[in-house]
């Protein structure tokens, strides 16, 4: 099988949280997170995505978070910067700024809220591809954006030289199969619990929420699959599944992952309005899941 375009992003990309303290970005904590993932062997981090609460960041903060992560990464780990917007001009500006900051690639969410036609999706991403000399990763998550970017549109965009991959968050194996069959784009799972099924179809990795707390275990799943050790890959899938379920099931992402990081002493757990903290009853459920997994909570 011929190599796919975006294999520089194969493996584990962690959808990085944005640490807050007293309502402001906790820069020191953000730098520690980057160092943690370098040490854990994570292949790539993705700041300012859904998990990074990008909708609550000001434009200056968005640029600053990407700048801090790129600076702290210092070439030790790849950075796939979240630079999407429902405004084409703003997505172009963010992507150019990320390129200037030294990002290795850009993660571009499909335009949300304004629900463009398929031609609108195409023109939006084409404009960004022409404006930035950076590998671009499409991010299709209709549960957040209110409209699916159809496989034919994604395959068509894959013909543009610097659009190299797609973060597939529809939950549809048929859609993922159509993209894999109809393009040479690298396909990354946007749902932790679907990483193994997507690898089986020909996907190359995951942009992971659970990887914020157990990056080495997510990597073990991917490595087991790549080595052809299917029973081991299945074992890791089933061990990780309760964590993946709670990260996306107890409350809106990133509320549970931030609560988990707080329980593990790795983050304040603070989220920005309009997100609210995980309720006590759900926090107790999450603690039980973390304890059952073997993680030490406080």
204 neighbors 184 (Cβ within 8 angstroms) = no
CA distance linking residue 6 with residue 135, whole number of Å: 8
What per-residue confidence (pLDDT) applies to 91?
98
Domain contains 213: yes
- pLDDT-derived band at 1 (thresholds 50, 70, 90) equals low
Which residues form the domain of 17?
Answer: 7-229
Which among 45, 118, 47, 117 has a CA at the least distance from the CA of 84? Answer: 47
Instruction: Give how far Cα 272 sits from Cα of 21, 109, 233, Å.
Output: 10, 20, 36
Q: What is the pLDDT of residues 50-87, one digit of tens each?
A: 999 999 999 999 999 999 999 999 999 999 999 999 99
Instruction: Give how far Cα 81 sits from Cα of 52, 137, 150, 276, Å.
Output: 11, 10, 23, 25
Using a pLDDT cut of 90, give the percent of the chain over it.
98
Domain contains 128: yes
Domain contains 136: yes
**Mean pLDDT across the stretch 269-281?**
97
Among 78, 139, 147, 258, which one carries the catalytic annotation? Answer: 139
Domain contains 239: no
The neighbour count for residue 15, using CB atoms within 10 Å, is 28
3-state DSSP assignment of residue 6: coil
Q: How far apart are the first and last CA of the chain?
A: 48
Q: Is the pLDDT of residue 161 over 80?
A: yes
Active site residue 126: no
Domain contains 208: yes
Please tell me the total count of domains within the chain.
1
**Mean pLDDT across the stretch 148-152?**
98
Domain contains 163: yes
Domain contains 282: no
CATH at residue 40? 3.20.20.70
Q: What is the pLDDT of residues 197-212, one digit of tens each?
A: 999 999 999 999 999 9
Report DSSP letters for 252-298, one per residue. STTHHHHHHHHHTTSS-----TTS-PPPHHHHHHHHHHHHHHT----
What per-residue confidence (pLDDT) applies to 150?
98
What per-residue confidence (pLDDT) applies to 298?
85
Tell me the pTM. Answer: 0.97
Q: Which pairing describes strands 11-15 and 205-208: parallel, antiparallel, or unpaired? A: parallel
Chain-wide mean pLDDT for the chain? 97
**Mean pLDDT across the stretch 121-150?**
97
CA distance linking residue 108 with residue 189, whole number of Å: 15
210: tokens are 């659970």
Active site residue 239: no
Q: Is the pLDDT of residue 164 over 70?
A: yes
Residue 15: partners with Cβ closer than 8 Å, 6 or more residues away: 46, 49, 50, 51, 52, 207, 208, 209, 211, 212
Domain contains 285: no
Instruction: Give how far Cα 33 sits from Cα of 11, 162, 261, Å.
Output: 18, 29, 11
């Amino acid at each position: 099988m011929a190599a796919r375009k975006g294999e520089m992003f194969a493996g584990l990309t962690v959808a990085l949280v944005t640490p807050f303290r007293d309502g402001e970005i906790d820069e020191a904590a953000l730098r520690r997170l980057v160092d943690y993932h370098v040490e854990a062997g994570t292949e790539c981090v993705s700041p300012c995505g859904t998990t990074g609460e990008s909708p609550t960041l000001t434009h200056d903060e968005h640029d600053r978070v990407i700048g801090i992560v790129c600076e702290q990464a210092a070439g030790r780990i790849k950075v796939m910067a979240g630079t999407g917007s429902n405004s084409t001009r703003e997505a172009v500006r963010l992507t150019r700024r990320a390129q200037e900051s030294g990002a290795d690639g850009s993660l571009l969410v499909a335009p949300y809220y304004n629900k463009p036609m398929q031609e609108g999706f195409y023109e939006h991403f084409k404009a960004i591809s022409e404006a930035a000399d950076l590998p671009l990763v499409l991010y299709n998550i209709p549960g957040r954006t209110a409209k699916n970017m159809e496989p034919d549109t994604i395959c068509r965009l894959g013909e543009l030289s610097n659009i190299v991959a797609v973060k597939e968050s529809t939950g549809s194996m048929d859609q993922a199969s159509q993209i894999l069959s109809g393009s040479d784009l690298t396909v990354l799972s946007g749902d932790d619990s679907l990483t193994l099924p997507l690898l089986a179809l020909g996907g190359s990795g995951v942009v992971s929420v659970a990887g914020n707390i157990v990056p080495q275990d997510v990597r073990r799943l991917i490595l087991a699959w790549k080595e052809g050790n299917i029973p081991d890959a299945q074992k890791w899938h089933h061990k990780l599944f309760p964590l993946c379920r709670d990260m996306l099931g107890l409350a809106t992402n990133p509320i549970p992952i931030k609560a988990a990081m707080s329980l593990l002493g790795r983050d304040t757990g603070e989220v920005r309005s309009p997100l609210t903290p995980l309720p006590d009853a759900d926090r107790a459920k999450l603690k039980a899941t973390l304890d059952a997994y073997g993680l030490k909570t406080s």
